[in-house]
Amino acid sequence: MRALRLLAWKSEPELVEVDEPTPGPGQVVVRVGAAGACHSDLHLMHDFEAGAVPWNPPFTLGHENAGWVHALGSGVTGLEVGQPVAVYGPWGCGTCARCQLGIDTYCENPAGAPVPGGGGGLGLDGGMAEYLLVPAARHVVPLPEGLDPVQAAPLTDAGLTPYHAVRRSWGKLPPGSTALVIGVGGLGHVGVQILKATTSARVIAVDTRDEALALARECGADLALRSGEEAVAEIRAATPGGRGADVVLDFVGVDATLRMGAASARTVGDLTIVGIGGGTLPVSYFSVPYEVSIQTTYWGSRPELVEVLDLGARGLVRPKITTFGLDEAVDVYRRLQAGEVAGRAVIVP
């Protein structure tokens, strides 16, 4: 079969011929219906080098996958060939306390995982191929009625990651509150929809691109602004008494956005860094508003994936998707790098 593989750090992936996988005991092979192209893959291609993560190329890209059960290994029950499924992407050991709760992202026994701190498309072969080997059946999540693999694939990362980030801040988003979304790309545009679907917060979105601001409005943002130092005053002016945003979600994570996010936050707010832009935020007593909590988040839990798929099936969250073939995938990543993708680009092998 054909697969889009990252063969070395600091290189573009290549479309090559590989063997079709066969499932071992407890494993599942999924026929890939769709695999999303995530900006994290650009970090893998351009920014990472040996030692940055506990694994290395070569592997097939694609950590945002959905499709149909193709083959079941011995001992797998409760799934049927042909059944539409999403793949929960972070693959932990399955037995530590965190994995038992479905929080494979923070597996406490990485040595017992199929790959430490990764998954399919992140150290192991991912979904930018015709078939995907999933090492444990518990990572395969049946799709709810009304959701097809193309809609479901982006929900497994571009949906799940902002869902986790929003959900952990629900307590700070009562009526009258404001949420600020920085970066309205693959993750951010779904983040705006998730905020609108699950909270009553006023949503302000910022981006550097006009098309992204238009998409933010389409997704329900109450206000969409050009990103930059000047945006801080506009954001504050849009909140009661100029108090700032209760929750800031930074889907970029460069110096400028971290600074803008901190300057826009309300006292006792949350500043959540999701983007892997490599920026730093100097924190000292007077440099951020009082009692602002600053955190990074990584992906989300399996139970949260079930919840976000439900939002998708009910039409409350609908990623804006453009589909491409596997032979266009290298070019799709170039377009993503150039800021020419609206919403999420999805590869349909």
| Site residues for Zn ion per CB under 5 A | 38, 40, 157
Residues 249/161, Cβ–Cβ less than 8 Å? no
Q: How far is the CB of 276 from ligand NAD (least distance, A)?
A: 4
CA proximity to 37, closest of 279, 252, 321, 275? 321
Nearer to ligand NAD, 258 or 288 (CB): 258
Query: Can you say whether the dihedral through the CA atoms of 43, 49, 52, 58 is positive or negative?
Result: positive
- 161 contacts ligand NAD (rule: CB under 6 A): yes
C-alpha–C-alpha distance, residues 227 and 256, integer Å? 9
Task: Kindly state the number of chain residues that form the binding site for ligand NAD, as judged by CB under 6 A.
Answer: 35
Q: How far is the CB of 20 from ligand NAD (least distance, A)?
A: 28
Closest residue by beta carbon to Zn ion: 38
C-alpha–C-alpha distance, residues 239 and 266, integer Å? 9
Nearer to ligand NAD, 90 or 94 (CB): 90
- Interacting residue with ligand NAD among 23, 84, 185, 261 (CB under 6 A): 185
- 252 contacts ligand NAD (rule: CB under 6 A): yes
C-alpha–C-alpha distance, residues 292 and 247, integer Å? 9
The structure tokens 């042909």 sit at 82
Q: Give which of ligand NAD, Zn ion, none residue 277 binds (C-beta under 5 to 8 Å, depending on kind).
A: ligand NAD
List beta partners, residue 68: 31, 84
Residues 30/69, Cβ–Cβ less than 8 Å? yes
Q: Work out the burial of residue 120: count CB atoms within 10 Å of its CB; fewer than 13 is exposed, 13-18 middle, 19 or more buried.
A: buried
Nearer to ligand NAD, 28 or 155 (CB): 155
- 239 contacts ligand NAD (rule: CB under 6 A): no
CA proximity to 154, closest of 343, 306, 337, 332? 343
C-alpha–C-alpha distance, residues 209 and 26, integer Å? 46
Q: How far is the CB of 328 from ligand NAD (least distance, A)?
A: 17
ω before 289 within 30° of 0 (cis)?
no
The structure tokens 């097809």 sit at 148
Q: Give which of ligand NAD, Zn ion, none residue 113 binds (C-beta under 5 to 8 Å, depending on kind).
A: none
119-120 and 223-226 strand pairing: unpaired
- Interacting residue with ligand NAD among 88, 131, 251, 333 (CB under 6 A): 251
Alpha-carbon distance values, 318 to 221, 292, 310, 313, 327 (Å): 14, 31, 11, 9, 26
- 118 contacts ligand NAD (rule: CB under 6 A): no
- Interacting residue with ligand NAD among 277, 312, 319, 349 (CB under 6 A): 277
- 276 contacts ligand NAD (rule: CB under 6 A): yes
- Interacting residue with ligand NAD among 89, 127, 186, 244 (CB under 6 A): 186
- 224 contacts ligand NAD (rule: CB under 6 A): no
- 39 contacts ligand NAD (rule: CB under 6 A): yes
- 137 contacts ligand NAD (rule: CB under 6 A): no
Binding to ligand NAD, residues 188-217 (CB under 6 A): 188, 206-209, 212
Which positions lie near ligand NAD, rule CB under 6 A?
Answer: 38-40, 43, 157, 161, 182-188, 206-209, 212, 227, 251-254, 256-257, 274-277, 297-299, 336, 339, 341
